[in-house]
Structure 1
Amino acid sequence: MPVAAAGDDAEVQRDVTRETIEQYADLTGDENRLHTDPEYAAEGFFGGVVAHGMLGAGLISAALAALPGDIVYLSQDLDFAAPVRPGDTVRATAEVVEDVGDDRVRVETVAEVVDGDDAETVIDGEAVVLSVPHEN
C-alpha cells in the first residue's frame, strides 16, 4: 500500500444532528450544558446548542485516516472559527503539503459547514502524521 505524499488529499462529510451531539457527549463524558441542554444553551454564548469542537476535529481525524498508508497522528494544531449546530453538514478535508522526513508528512486540515455551494470554515489547522505502508 502506498504512503501519503505531497499532493494527496482526502475528505469526509457527515450530517451533525442532536443525536450525534448526545452520542458524543455520552461517549466522552463531556456534558457541557452548551452542548446538552437546549434551554441553558439558548441563553448562552452561542444562542443555542452547538456541537463539541472535538466532534468536528474527529471528522478531521477521519479525513486523515482516508489518506494512503497507515496514518498515525503525531500532532495537530486547531483554530476553532465558528460553531457547528444540529442540522449542519460538516466536510473535513486533509491535504498533504510537505514531506518532513522519517515517514512524516505535514497536512493542512479544514472542517467546513457546507450548504450547497456555500461553505464556512469552522476549524482550520495543521497536522503532522506518520504515514507508513500497511504490512500484511
Structure 2
Amino acid sequence: MPTISIAERAGQVGSTSTSDWIDVTQAMIDKFADATGDHQFIHTDPERAAQTPFKGTIAHGFLTLSLMPLLATLTDEPEIAGVRMGVNYGCNKLRFLTPVRSGSRVRGHFKLLELVEKRPGQWQQTVEFTVEIEGQDKPALIAEWISQIFV
C-alpha cells in the first residue's frame, strides 16, 4: 500500500474517498446485540420486526457507527508513514438518519475536514463520515469523526 507523510496528509484537507460496499447481515446484527446487550426486537426478532414500519430487522445505529474503522480500511487512501498509533477521540454532530435493514449493503464516504498538530508528534484529524445505503437516497448516518494520530 502506498504511504504519505503526515504533513502531506495535512495538505489534503477537503479531499474525499469512498469505501467498498459491505453487507450488513443478521448474523452481524445478532453479534452486536450480544456484545452490547441490546436485544431489542427490532434488531433481533425478524417476525416481530416485520410488523413494524421497518418491515424487518434493522442494524443498531451504534453498529452502523462502529463500521467506521472497517469502512476506512476499504478506501484507496494511502497509509500515513510512521504512525505509532491512532485513537478515537469522539464525534461531532452525529445523526442517525435512515435505518439500515438487515441484508443491506453500505459504504462509507470520508471527507478530511481538518488535520492539525496539537503537540509535537500528536495530530488531531476531523473527518466527515457518511454511511450510504445501497438504493437509498438518504444516508444511514452522518458524523464528524475525530481521531488522534501519533507519529
In angstroms, what is the RMSD of aligned CA positions?
2.4
Q: Contact conserved, 1:84 with 1:113, CA < 8 A, in 2?
A: yes
TM-score normalized with structure 2 length: 0.72
Structure 1 stretches lacking a partner, 5+ long: none
Aligned length: 131
Structure 2: distance between partners of 1:12 and 1:129:
22
In our comparison, the structure showing a higher alpha carbon Rg is: 2
Q: Secondary structure at the match of 1:121?
A: coil
Pairwise mapping of residues 1-136 of structure 1 onto structure 2 (< 5 A)? 2-3=5-6, 4-5=9-10, 6=13, 7=15, 9=17, 11-64=19-72, 68=80, 69=83, 70-77=85-92, 78-102=94-118, 103-115=123-135, 120-133=138-151
Q: In percent, how many aligned pairs have the same letter? A: 30
Q: Secondary structure at the match of 1:107?
A: strand
Runs of 4+ residues deviating >4 angstroms: 64-67
Instruction: Tell me whether 8-17 or 46-55 shows the greater mean CA deviation.
Output: 8-17
Letter in 1 for 2:49: A
Structure 1: distance between partners of 2:16 and 2:148:
14
Give the C-alpha shift of residue 129 in structure 1: 1.1
Structure 2 stretches lacking a partner, 5+ long: none
Specify which structure has the higher proportion of strand: 1
TM-score normalized with structure 1 length: 0.79
Q: Contact conserved, 1:12 with 1:59, CA < 8 A, in 2?
A: no
Q: Secondary structure at the match of 1:27?
A: helix
